[in-house]
Amino acid sequence: MDENRGISDQAKLGGSKTPAKAVLQRVLREAGIGIALVVLIAVFSAFAPHFMDESNVTNILTQITINLIMATGMTFVILIGGIDLSVGSVMALCAMVAGLVLKSESVPVPVAIAAAGLASVIVGMICGFMNGFVSSFWNVPSFIVTLGMLNIARGGALEVTDARTLFEFPNMFNNFGTATLFGVPAIFLVALSLVLLGWFVLTRTVFGRLIYSIGNNEEAVRLSGHNTFTFKVAAFVISGLTVGIGAIIYMARLTIASPILGTGFELNAIAAVIIGGTSLNGGRGSLIGTFLGACLIGVLADGLILIGVGDFVRQMITGGVIILAVILDSYRARIADRAQ
Query: What string marks each residue from 274 to 313 as x (binds other proteins by CB under 8 A) or -?
Result: ---------xx-----------------------------
H or E stretch covering 61:
helix 54-79
Q: Phi/psi of residue 185, each to 5°? A: -55, 130
Task: Give the residue with the Cβ less far from other proteins, 164 or 334.
Answer: 334
Site string for other proteins, 242-281 (x = CB under 8 A): ----------------------------------------
Strand, helix or coil at 80?
A: coil
Rounded distance, CA 261 to CA 95, Å? 9
Q: What is the DSSP letter of 53?
A: S
Question: Which of 226, 253, 314, 332 contacts other proteins by CB under 8 A?
Answer: 226
Nearer to other proteins by Cβ, of 12 and 50: the residue is 12
Q: Which is nearer to other proteins, 35 or 220 (CB)?
A: 220
Stretch binding other proteins (CB under 8 A), from 83-91, 167-175, 206-214, 234-242: 206-214
The residue (of 23 and 324) whose beta carbon lies closer to other proteins is: 23
Question: SS3 sequence, 121-162?
Answer: HHHHHHHHHHHHHHHHHCCCCHHHHHHHHHHHHHHHHHHHCC
Nearest approach in angstroms of CB 212 to other proteins is: 7
Say if residues 242 and 191 touch (Cβ distance below 8 Å).
no
Shortest gap between Cβ of 205 and other proteins (angstroms)? 5
Angle, CA 174 vertex, CA 172 and CA 176 arms, to 5° = 75
205 binds other proteins (CB under 8 A): yes
- Span 175-204, contacts to other proteins by CB under 8 A: 204
From residue 266, give the alpha-carbon distance in Å to each of 5, 43, 73, 92, 218.
52, 28, 11, 12, 25
Distance CA(221)–CA(281), nearest Å, equals 16
**If residue 45 lies in a helix (H) or strand (E), which one and from where to where?**
helix 19-47
Choice between 47 and 200, CB closer to other proteins? 200
C-beta of 29 vs 253, nearer to other proteins: 29
Minimum distance from CB of 80 to other proteins (Å)?
13
Site for other proteins, residues 19 to 48, rule: CB under 8 A: 19
Q: Which is nearer to other proteins, 19 or 308 (CB)?
A: 19
- Concatenating the DSSP letter of every residue in 211-275 gives HHHHHHHHHHHHHTT--HHHHHHHHHHHHHHHHHHHHHHHHHHHSSB-TTTTTTHHHHHHHHHHH
Query: How many residues bind to other proteins according to rule CB under 8 A?
Result: 32
Query: What does the binding site for other proteins look like in residue numbers (CB under 8 A)?
Result: 1, 4-5, 8, 12, 16, 19, 204-210, 212-213, 216-217, 219-227, 283-284, 336, 339-340
